[in-house]
Chains A and B, each alone.
Chain A
């Protein structure tokens, strides 16, 4: 059974075990009870036999026995279930209790004086009979000795009723006990299984980025799982980081020689026929390829498991301070309205990259004003909008700007690549980038990103 609930499996197994165990117990008890009931019945039959023998009176003239009064009053009434009979040595019935008028006893053959028999007799339409007989030698006053057989029979009905009642009580009690045990176990299991539910919840939280690793306090049996899972996550994260770092190092180490190459081309802006211009163009291409692949690699890593939530406001404020410094001459006025509660589910570097590129564009293309706003959206997302008061990007050409490496404005290069990078990152996070017009007059770029 590879699937299904552990709880259900435990309860089902226990229910089966209980049925087998209780069934065996009931059978054993009943067998025991049957034995002791049989013994009691035999004793009663023996006592009845003795009483019958004691009550028998000899008829001297015919050398027979008779009975004036049965030893037990029940032998008078037909439905009492207690019967008696006296037979002579040849098997002829000498006396028969009134209750046994309708009965015919099947006797085993007599075996002479002193012998006793006990047997059961089936009835076609009744509960059956338990019988006992005893053959004795009776000495008459005249000295004659005759053997007589005394037979007592009792209906099995009261015994069977007793056994049935016993069985019913037993099964009832055990049934109730089993149900009670299963109920208690179900409740206990719910408590025992709670940490499993908790671990599943925490793993889900890690998937959605609300948690970086499993918390510490687990029952002994789960502690190993939690510790190993945390270690695995850490190893995976550091492996991913190492991989990214070595890739970045490789790419970045190429950039210094490229920069050196470029300084050796002092007149890169000369006419196209100049081989130095062609070299400059190739250097630029190499730089673009490196930059693009680096960013793509970084974007691909986005949205991994176990990212800590990143508050958006400080990142935006840092970028605004940086851009204010870099574009000090432009004297842009920047308003940021990013609520402190807005947190990004993902890598801080990726958020910086997206916001940085958008804000850089706004500082480059805006005239005097830049506005950054954010707000929560339903469905675990938030909206981030960067606006400027520049000429504005034609929305019809916006998709072109999003295409790889397209540059709409050669005067101030970079917007195309910047937007394409942002678009790539946003998509990696399952978000959306929309280019529109701002109320300020320029471009408004709106990002939809996963919130934490």
Chain B
């Protein structure tokens, strides 16, 4: 997952970027609204975190510009002002959620997960595939009711596939979303992690949750239960 972080306070932006990277996100940081708008076009993030009080282009204008350009990525606004007036104005301008400073980093992460999940078309917080259940907000994966221990990178990989269940996801798309830009694209690390995921999610080998489509990519193949 790729997150765009538009915040003019360096300490806060760096702190948030560190926390997001630790949770397995790819992060692009921008210190003002114009840079944020540029990065939103260039890096096609999955979610944007936008501070409302930005120099140059204000957060509200940035969101309006994104929406005017038909970019429908979910946007979470950060605001120091916790009057409902500001929240209503922000969401009317096109934001999808807000957090009031100072916030708990864990809650911000959970909200971002939920925004990405909803943007992918999942309205329920739990993605239920029968024996396999995912709870993106809590970064929790269950197999037959038992929690599955995944590394942060494994979880990111699985989440990306699960959110696009039924769709083919190319290897280069995965690399783009999961690695830093200077990653060596010829390495076979993705294949290694897919293999590990298969072993952890399907120890018996009868579920086959992840398909490999040779030359095209991967697909999460289980059918969701009760998706609307």
In the complex the two chains form, what is the Cα distance from A186 to B51 in whole Å? Answer: 67
Q: Indicate whether A253 sits within 8 Å of B80 (C-beta atoms), given known contacts A262-B104, A287-B102.
A: yes
Decide if B85 touches A319 in the complex (CB within 8 Å): no
Which residues of A sit under 8 angstroms from B78, Cβ to Cβ? 259
CB neighbours (8 Å) of B87 from chain A are: 322, 356
Minimal Cβ-Cβ distance residue in A for B100: A255
Judge whether B101 and A258 touch: CB under 8 Å: yes
Is there a chain B Cβ closer than 8 Å to A272's Cβ?
no
Q: Is the CB of A256 within 8 A of B18?
A: no
Of A266, A287, A329, A349, which contacts B118 at CB under 8 A?
Answer: A329
Cα separation A321 to B88 with both chains bound (whole Å): 8
* Bound CA–CA A355/B98 (angstroms): 18
Contact B105–A262 (Cβ < 8 Å): yes
Residue B84 contacts which of A257, A260, A319 (CB distance < 8 angstroms)? A319
Look across to chain B and name the residue whose beta carbon is closest to the beta carbon of A318.
B88
| B105 near A352: Cβ-Cβ < 8 Å | no
Q: Does B81 contact A (CB under 8 A)?
A: yes
Q: Quick one: CB contact mask for B50-70 with A, threshold 8 Å, 1 for yes?
A: 010100000000000000000
**In the complex, chain B residues 97-144 whose Cβ is within 8 Å of any chain A Cβ:** 97-98, 100-106, 114, 118, 123-125
CB-CB < 8 A to A348: which residues of B?
A: 85
Rounded to whole angstroms, the CA-CA distance of A260 and B84 in the bound complex is 23
Q: Give chain A's interface secondary structure class.
A: helix
Give the distance to chain B from A306, nearest Cβ to Cβ, in Å. 19
CB distance from A278 to the nearest CB of B (A): 16
- B41 contacts chain A at the CB level, 8 A cutoff: no
Whether the pair B22, A266 counts as a contact (CB closer than 8 A) is: yes
Q: Which residues of B are found within 8 Å of A269, using beta-carbon distances? A: 106
- A283 CB contacts on chain B under 8 angstroms: 102
Query: Is residue A268 within 8 Å, beta carbon to beta carbon, of the partner chain?
Result: yes
Confirm or deny: A24 has a beta carbon within 8 angstroms of a beta carbon on chain B. Answer: no
| Chain A residues within 8 Å of B12, by CB | 256-257, 259-260, 263
Interface centre among A248, A259, A268, A283 (most CB of B within 10 A): A259
Answer yes or no: B190 CB below 8 A from chain A CBs: no
Check A264–B125 contact: CB distance below 8 A. no
Q: Which of B19, B88, B118 contacts A263 (CB 8 A)?
A: B19
Collect the chain A residues with CB atoms within 8 Å of residue B101's CB: 255-256, 258-259
A273 within 8 A of B: no
- With contacts A266-B22, A319-B88, A325-B91 taken as known, whether A298 is within 8 angstroms of B9 at the C-beta atoms is no
Q: Which A residues have a C-beta under 8 Å from some C-beta of B?
A: 248, 252-253, 255-264, 266, 268-269, 283, 287, 291, 298, 318-319, 321-322, 325-326, 328-329, 331, 348-349, 352-353, 355-357
A-B contact pairs, 9 of them (CB 8 A): A257-B12, A259-B101, A321-B91, A322-B87, A325-B96, A326-B91, A328-B118, A329-B124, A356-B84
